[in-house]
Amino acid sequence: MAEDVKPVSPETVRNDFNDPLSVVHYARAAHFLGLWKSERVLIKRFFPDQKLRLLEAGCGAGRATLGLWQMGYHQLTAFDFAAEPLDQARSLAALQTAGVAFYLADATKVKSKDVGGELFDGVCFFFNGLMQIPGRKRRRQALLHLRELCRPGAVFLFTTHDRDSSPLERAMWQAEKVRWAAGTQDPRLVEFGDRYFSDAAGNTFMHLPDRTEILEDLAETGWKHQFDTLRREVATESAAVRDFSDECRFWVAER
């Protein structure tokens, strides 16, 4: 690794989310995009009781938070580890409801006292937020901490990318595997499956797993796998949603 190039760290990711480009990008999505059709379908399916006490991890600027509230889930707590998008979420919520409790907290370290001292009936971690934690060990720490915040039987709904989701993805990652074998991969990357790129949201870190990796992570951290499927199998999304986000895999696990 070049001496002047540092691997992506949690602080890198936090700084990227606090960057004005990123804040504006996600705030626009919170104001104008809202929940995806596929998210709404699975929320209704796996959280049939609107009185459930739900926790949203990695709430960002509040896109899903306000969508959940509008769907009738009013026992709602949300947190994020980046202060700037969290301020946007609080401001947006204040225009619609004072009922959402927001906290500044890190999923890899979060304790009950950090999010109001409650246990939850369900957890959501939308738009691949879990995969924006660099390092598999840290992602497993997040899974463990989120499990500790839940009552027995609680449901965890989250998304990831999937390296096997299309022939194009498989070809790209086969080429990446060759680079890693030769030691010529991007030196900022932590593990195979990582990407660090620039787009309309500024700089973005993302880990793209395969299905086996997530099944292993769930089993290792005590979550019972219930369901998974690609987004395209759940619903046909609008052009605006497809422009905002790539194909992803939904996961459901039980505490």
Tell me the per-residue pLDDT of 110-148, one tens digit each, with 9 for 90 and over: 999 999 999 999 999 999 999 999 999 999 999 999 999
Q: Examine the pLDDT at 89 and tell me if it is beyond 90.
A: yes
Using alpha carbons, select from 133, 15, 79, 17 the residue that is nearest to residue 143: 133
Average pLDDT over the chain reads 95
How far, in Å, CA of 159 to CA of 161, rounded? 7
The residues facing 155 across adjacent strands are 122, 254
% of the chain with per-residue pLDDT over 70: 98
How far, in Å, CA of 204 to CA of 246, rounded? 14
Strands 120-125 and 54-57: parallel
Q: Examine the pLDDT at 3 and tell me if it is beyond 60.
A: no
Per residue in 217-252, pLDDT (tens digit) is 999 999 999 999 999 999 999 999 999 999 999 999
Q: Examine the pLDDT at 98 and tell me if it is beyond 80.
A: no
First and final C-alpha spacing in the chain: 40
- Among left, alpha and beta (phi > 0; psi -120 to 50; other), residue 111 is beta
Whether residue 160 contacts residue 233, with contact meaning beta carbons closer than 8 Å, is answered with no
Residue 99: what pLDDT? 84
Residue 4: what pLDDT? 74
Q: Examine the pLDDT at 1 and tell me if it is beyond 50.
A: no
Give 8's pLDDT tier (boundaries 50, 70, 90).
Answer: very high
Task: Give me the mean pLDDT over the 212-219 stretch.
Answer: 98
Q: What are the structural domains, with CATH classification, of the chain?
A: 10-33+49-254 (3.40.50.150)
Q: In the numeric block, which tokens belong to residue 131? A: 């995969």
Calculate helix-pair angle for 83-96, 10-18, nearest 10 degrees.
50
Q: In the numeric block, which tokens belong to residue 254? A: 């039980």
Task: Give me the mean pLDDT over the 154-167 stretch.
Answer: 95
Residue 2: what pLDDT? 47
Count Cβ atoms below 10 Å from residue 94 Cβ, excluding itself.
Answer: 10
Q: DSSP of 17-62, one letter per residue?
A: HHSHHHHHHHHHHHHHT-S-HHHHHHHHHH---TTS-EEEES-TTS
Give 97's pLDDT tier (boundaries 50, 70, 90).
Answer: confident
Task: Give me the mean pLDDT over the 80-98 stretch.
Answer: 90
How far, in Å, CA of 150 to CA of 115, rounded? 12
Q: Examine the pLDDT at 184 and tell me if it is beyond 80.
A: yes
* Cα 226 off chain centre by: 18
**3-class DSSP state of 252:** strand
Per residue in 38-76, pLDDT (tens digit) is 999 999 999 999 999 999 999 999 999 999 999 999 999
Task: Give me the mean pLDDT over the 167-194 stretch.
Answer: 95
Q: What's this model's pTM, rounded to 2 decimal places? A: 0.95
Q: Examine the pLDDT at 201 and tell me if it is beyond 90.
A: no
